[in-house]
């Protein structure tokens, strides 16, 4: 058996994937993994793989010991090869491989380590259960497509840092062991050994600390930072996730939006070579809801929602007329080329609308002969013409209507719009369509808590022109809050913060907090606000989700080096796990779990 | 009362500290904090401060509203000023201030926010209790010297990232919610809500993950990463701290040391403008212990420890002769100019040596008339001459000796050497003296566990020339481990890792683990090692400590934006804190603490 050897005397000269025809004639030293081995015509051909790519190594029996060692290797063995680069013989050039014009003739060969047969191929596009990939993450990450994702993630954070450095931002670390936050999602807790009965919390975001840093005069802060939320697990959420967090002083909303647009343009150019057209489009919350039925509209395609309430206000179709009479709306959209939908297809769409609370879905098929619809008889010819014209229906199109409250009509049609857009391939999946959504409502009414609650958070500044409404009609007050949306997914959101004490007091008052309650909930931040707080605002982005969109993957787990499963466990390390009774005792805790569910 | 105003229509044009005589005549818009206000000759002078520095603003009653608003400001009020830059009148130039040649004549003045009187001056060199500074960290960080520390920390991480990026390293994030480690310090635990009775642990370092990344083919990894240790609190330890963590594949020790030296040279040049002379000095562990009595020697000064065992082996002074006869050593050092030390001073040194286990401290004063010492009479004139010559004693010097086991003599004299170096000002405190310490022992014997334990960790590679000793004399085996030391402080350490199965098995065997026990302790890493592990090694640095040395501060707390106290609490947020019984119930835990010690 060939002995495993060390590196002594060998120094890697090149990455496998770096060699080109220009290197022909050079002596090189390569180190990497055996990707494939083929024996052919008495020679051994090894595709040698490292981080930089693949190259073909040829071992000839004339090389003696090198050939003997090569005879023993199998896939994923780790080897070092010293040899000469030569152009491949006529007819054996591989145009699919960047190094396909050359090969390396081995003169010295060392077996650096053996490998068991991996549980799946170390290659792209494998069809393997995700659980197996996660368990053997070290092999999964060895696959070229996963290496590209690791590298894209690194290049993205690097580009973010380069851009923000040039703009005078300082990256500043905030604590991971901090205080349980009074509002928001559920905290992960960390028991304190030194202070019995007390706990740290892992941060859900550095929100309070970044505002503190503005009070501290840092002026331009950012951080690429781990955050934690102990949420009930939904598709594609992770208990720990990474956030790009930013905050600036002495700025207005426009300054932040402009800077973020330039940041995105820089990052997408540097990492994907994609040029974004600036400024990015903007929609107010109102427009986004009216036209797209969503506060995170996918604007890669049109098929916008259209209000027809005025056209049907007094019509003969009672469902429509009464919805309008009750203060609701009738809205529709035009699905191009769908006039031939079957009863079953229409029923399916109706079910989908019902998921979002719509009590029904009306349809009209536009045909060369006119409207075909079970409800056509309730409308005058002029009304039908008006509807078709408003929705820009052409023969062959299908018009879909929802008559309901404004919110239900918007969200149900918004969901139908997305479904139809997908079905009808109305957009290029490669396209990147950013949009800002601005002017979110400041408050919403919580029926559960019987009070107003902040849509963003209690430190978000209301728009100055709406200040008078704070007293008269709080739900109509718009906030200086903004989300950045890409292809229908929220990438991030932020706001200008309140820095004036009078407005903050008004806000707490609206939220139903006494000054004492406010102090109890947000004590140290309110203290800090008393000592000269500059006007400031910021934004935060979910890095994992952004990468998923950039890499066009279906799950954020592919974009996180070591993700948790959907049930919040790590299959590679088998975390979480049981701990010893002594460890719990030191933490002044007793477990009330019936039994450990530790799979170990 | 002057109304607090918004920023509408104003855009900051310059930082306060950026203005120079070249800007005279320009209209500028500045925003910042009132550092000082002086009323003089009917005018108001405001030193306006922002992150970039200070500038003098002059308000003239002729400016009308601007003057009226300026009349109201006090220290730390936040203001915006639009005005004209002009050269200061003859005789009022302030050469101490970078902007001291000019001032800004206010034309428009806005009060952006008020401030209460801070509990301490927002200025450098204040003499304030650290607890007060930590409680009001947002004000403490506003002080220029703390802003410089925040900036130095940022520039340092930036320089590290720039250098490593250029060398092909990828920054990769490893999990914070991971598995409790079987060896090392105490873990912080995070209870799992979804898996009753199970816990995540916060990482003490990403050691296992970075080795996994090498198995995954990443080849060059780094991370600036938060780590956690629930240690009993010692001076200047923090429960959470930041580490620069690195690992490389296909490298030998020399490759790593060279790269790290170039990294340090780059970082110190970019941040401090200091040029390091490369290569850095190296000492083996043996040399460091023999010459400096420490494995983290401060080589800013000489005064090395000298072995005199051979000179005193048969001498008339029994303490010395017997120590040598028992297999111990006699070592000494020469304290220049201390021949006149009083009885009291000598007693004090003896007490200090005793702290490190030395049973006594012998001394000889070198005078122009010869040796003065209570033990001189036990030596021949030739022996005395020999000792003075070996220690290079000159008239006026004091020779100090310890006769003991090798380890005790080394560490006691090492401590005395540091003490005398400090007292005698033998070094320039501004000097930066790096040294590598290499060839650490692989193993040490644990009397407590009655077995060998790894000095570094069980994955550290023994030096190849010592492999034969693994069987015959394990304690003499040296490891491919190395520490980087600066001014007597360990900045970081690392090793070449074992990647060969036969050596790993031998190592576990030496550590007294059965294969089953090894698997139980290091299961997933050992699994990973079976699938083609490349030769690899790495190093990790304590960033907080490195910054403390770079900034010449006395505590790492000054170099961490939001540190914990020495008792592990955050005075600003009052963390840790009590949590609700419902929170504990959800985590399947009950507290056994008698009472909460929550100070709130």
Q: Determine the pLDDT at residue B449.
A: 87
Examine the pLDDT at B375 and tell me if it is beyond 50: yes
Examine the pLDDT at B361 and tell me if it is beyond 80: yes
Task: Kindly state the average pLDDT of the residues A544-568.
Answer: 95
- A211 preceded by cis ω (within 30°)? no
Residue B544 labeled ligand binder? yes
Looking at chain A, the whole-number percentage of residues with pLDDT higher than 70 is 98
Listed range (B204-213, B455-464, B515-524, B540-549) with the worst mean pLDDT? B515-524
Per-residue pLDDT of B442-472, as tens digits, reads 999 998 889 999 998 889 999 999 999 999 9
What are the residue boundaries of the structural domains of chain A, listed by start?
A: 16-113, 301-426, 436-533
Task: Kindly state the average pLDDT of the residues A358-368.
Answer: 95
Per-residue pLDDT of A401-415, as tens digits, reads 999 999 999 999 999
- Cβ of B189 under 8 Å from any chain A Cβ? yes
- Cβ of A223 under 8 Å from any chain B Cβ? no
Test the B interface: residue of A516, A576, A591 with most B CBs within 10 Å: A576
CB-count exposure of residue A307 (10 Å: 0-12, 13-18, 19+): middle
Examine the pLDDT at B600 and tell me if it is beyond 60: no
Examine the pLDDT at B538 and tell me if it is beyond 80: yes
Q: Determine the pLDDT at residue B182.
A: 62
With both helix axes pointing from N to C terminus, report the angle between B406-423 and B343-355 in degrees, rounded to the nearest 10.
130
Which is nearest to B140 in space by CA: B158, B122, B157, B127?
Answer: B122
By Cβ distance, the residue of B150, B179, B189 closest to A172 is: B150
Residue B223 labeled ligand binder? no
Residues 262-281 on B with a CB inside 8 Å of A are none
CB-count exposure of residue B261 (10 Å: 0-12, 13-18, 19+): middle
Examine the pLDDT at A596 and tell me if it is beyond 50: no
Q: Is the pTM of this model over 0.80?
A: yes
Per-residue tokens: B471: 């069987």
Which is nearest to B311 in space by CA: B330, B290, B286?
Answer: B330
Whether A588 and B591 lie within 8 Å, measured CB to CB: yes
Task: Kindly state the average pLDDT of the residues A290-297.
Answer: 98
By Cβ distance, the residue of A199, A574, A597 closest to B579 is: A199
Which is nearest to A99 in space by CA: A48, A65, A139?
Answer: A48
Q: Determine the pLDDT at residue A595.
A: 58
CA A102 to chain CA centroid, Å, is: 40
- The DSSP code sequence of B285-311 is HHHHHHHHSSSS--TTS----EE-HHH
Show contacts of A114-118: CB within 8 Å, 24+ apart.
A114/A4, A114/A77, A114/A78, A114/B501, A114/B532, A115/A33, A115/A74, A115/A75, A115/A76, A115/A77, A115/A78, A115/B530, A115/B531, A115/B532, A116/B530, A116/B531, A117/A74, A117/A75, A117/A76, A118/A75, A118/A76, A118/B531
Residues of chain B contacting residue A80, judged by C-beta atoms under 8 Å apart: 250
In CATH terms, B16-113 corresponds, of 3.30.930.10, 2.40.50.140, 3.40.50.300, 3.40.309.10, to 2.40.50.140
Per-residue tokens: A269: 């150019």
Which is nearest to A420 in space by CA: A344, A334, A323?
Answer: A334
Examine the pLDDT at B268 and tell me if it is beyond 50: yes
Q: Determine the pLDDT at residue A304.
A: 98
Task: Kindly state the average pLDDT of the residues B498-526.
Answer: 86
Task: Kindly state the average pLDDT of the residues B39-64.
Answer: 95
Q: Chain A closest CA to B412's CA: distance in Å?
A: 33
Examine the pLDDT at A598 and tell me if it is beyond 60: no
Fold of B301-426: Gyrase A; domain 2 (3.30.1360)
Annotated binding site of A for ATP: 229-231, 238, 490, 542-545
Helix (H, G, I), strand (E, B) or coil at A36: strand
Examine the pLDDT at A599 and tell me if it is beyond 90: no
* Residue B183 banded pLDDT, cuts 50, 70, 90: low
* Residue B598 banded pLDDT, cuts 50, 70, 90: very low
Q: Determine the pLDDT at residue A3.
A: 81
Residues of chain A contacting residue B216, judged by C-beta atoms under 8 Å apart: 137-142
CA B321 to chain CA centroid, Å, is: 42
By Cβ distance, the residue of B197, B573, B595 closest to A578 is: B197
Examine the pLDDT at A512 and tell me if it is beyond 60: yes
3-state secondary structure A369-399: CEEECCCHHHCCHHHHHHHHHHCCCCCCCEE
With both helix axes pointing from N to C terminus, report the angle between A515-529 and A501-510 in degrees, rounded to the nearest 10.
150
Per-residue pLDDT of B240-259, as tens digits, reads 999 999 999 999 999 999 99
Whether A177 and B530 lie within 8 Å, measured CB to CB: no
Examine the pLDDT at B358 and tell me if it is beyond 70: yes
Per-residue pLDDT of B420-441, as tens digits, reads 999 999 999 889 999 999 999 9
By Cβ distance, the residue of A33, A194, A588 closest to B568 is: A194
Q: Cα(A492)–Cα(A515) distance, rounded to whole angstroms? A: 31
Q: Chain B closest CA to A343's CA: distance in Å?
A: 44
Test the B interface: residue of A173, A253, A525, A530 with most B CBs within 10 Å: A173
Residues of chain A contacting residue B147, judged by C-beta atoms under 8 Å apart: 217-218
Examine the pLDDT at B597 and tell me if it is beyond 60: no
Q: Determine the pLDDT at residue A491.
A: 97
- Cβ of A598 under 8 Å from any chain B Cβ? yes
The residue of chain A nearest to residue B584, with distances taken between CA atoms, is: A189
- Cβ of A573 under 8 Å from any chain B Cβ? yes
Angle of CA points B434, B440, B445, to nearest 5° = 140
**Cα distance from N-terminal residue to C-terminal residue, chain B:** 36
Examine the pLDDT at B599 and tell me if it is beyond 90: no
Looking at chain B, the whole-number percentage of residues with pLDDT higher than 90 is 87
By Cβ distance, the residue of A112, A179, A593 closest to B573 is: A179
Per-residue pLDDT of A295-321, as tens digits, reads 999 999 999 999 999 999 999 999 999
Examine the pLDDT at A277 and tell me if it is beyond 70: yes
Examine the pLDDT at A155 and tell me if it is beyond 90: yes
**Residue A51 contacts residue A87 (beta carbons within 8 Å):** no
């Amino acid at each position: 058996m060939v002995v495993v050897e060390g590196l002594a005397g060998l120094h890697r000269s090149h990455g496998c994937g770096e060699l080109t025809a220009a290197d022909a004639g050079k002596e090189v030293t390569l180190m990497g993994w055996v990707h494939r081995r083929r024996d052919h015509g008495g020679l051994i051909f090894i595709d040698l793989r490292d981080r930089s790519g693949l190259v073909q190594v040829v071992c000839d029996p004339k090389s003696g010991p090198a050939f003997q060692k090569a005879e023993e290797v199998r896939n994923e063995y780790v080897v070092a090869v010293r040899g000469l680069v030569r152009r491949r013989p006529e007819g054996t050039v591989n145009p699919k491989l960047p190094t396909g014009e050359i090969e390396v003739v081995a003169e010295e060969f060392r077996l650096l380590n053996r490998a068991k047969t991996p549980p799946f191929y170390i290659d792209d596009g494998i069809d393997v259960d995700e659980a197996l990939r996660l368990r053997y993450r070290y092999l999964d990450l060895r696959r070229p497509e996963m290496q590209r994702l690791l590298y894209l993630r690194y290049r993205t954070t690097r580009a973010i840092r380069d851009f923000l450095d040039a703009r005078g931002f300082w990256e500043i670390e905030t604590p991971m062991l901090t205080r349980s936050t009074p509002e928001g999602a559920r905290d992960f807790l960390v028991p304190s050994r030194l202070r019995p009965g007390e706990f740290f919390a892992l941060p859900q975001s550095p929100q309070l600390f970044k505002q503190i840093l503005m009070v501290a005069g840092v002026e331009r802060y950012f951080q690429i930072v781990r955050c934690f939320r102990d949420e009930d697990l939904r598709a594609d959420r992770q208990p720990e996730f990474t956030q790009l967090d930013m905050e600036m002083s002495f700025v207005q909303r426009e300054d932040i939006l402009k800077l973020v647009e330039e940041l995105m343009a820089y990052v997408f150019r540097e990492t994907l070579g994609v040029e974004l057209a600036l400024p990015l489009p903007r929609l107010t919350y109102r427009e986004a809801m009216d036209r797209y039925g969503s506060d995170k509209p996918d604007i890669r395609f049109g098929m916008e929602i259209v209000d027809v309430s005025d056209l049907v206000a007094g019509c003969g179709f009672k469902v429509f007329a009464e919805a309008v009479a009750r203060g609701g709306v009738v809205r529709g959209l035009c699905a191009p080329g769908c006039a031939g939908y079957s009863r079953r297809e229409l029923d399916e769409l109706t079910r989908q609308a019902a998921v979002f609370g719509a009590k029904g879905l009306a349809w009209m098929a536009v045909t060369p002969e006119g409207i075909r619809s079970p409800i056509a008889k309730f409308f005058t010819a002029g009304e039908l013409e008006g509807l078709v014209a408003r929705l820009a229906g052409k023969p062959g199109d299908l018009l879909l209507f929802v008559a309901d409250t404004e919110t239900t009509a918007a969200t149900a049609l918004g969901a139908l719009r997305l479904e139809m857009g997908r079905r009808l391939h109305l957009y290029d999946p490669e396209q990147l369509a950013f949009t800002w959504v601005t002017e979110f409502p400041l408050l919403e009414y919580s029926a559960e808590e019987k009070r107003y609650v902040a849509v963003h958070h209690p430190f978000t500044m209301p728009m100055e022109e709406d200040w008078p409404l704070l007293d008269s009609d709080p739900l109509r007050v718009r906030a200086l809050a903004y989300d950045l949306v890409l292809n229908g997914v929220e990438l991030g959101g932020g706001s200008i913060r309140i820095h004036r004490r009078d407005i903050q007091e008004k806000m707490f008052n609206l939220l139903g907090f006494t000054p004492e309650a406010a102090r109890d909930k947000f004590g140290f931040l309110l203290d800090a606000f008393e000592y000269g707080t500059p006007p400031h605002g910021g934004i935060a982005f979910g890095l994992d989700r952004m990468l998923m969109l950039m890499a066009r993957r279906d799950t954020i787990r592919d974009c996180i080096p070591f993700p948790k499963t959907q049930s919040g466990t790590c299959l590679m390390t088998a975390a979480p796990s049981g701990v010893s009774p002594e460890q719990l005792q030191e933490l002044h805790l007793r477990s009330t779990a019936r039994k450990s569910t530790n799979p170990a």
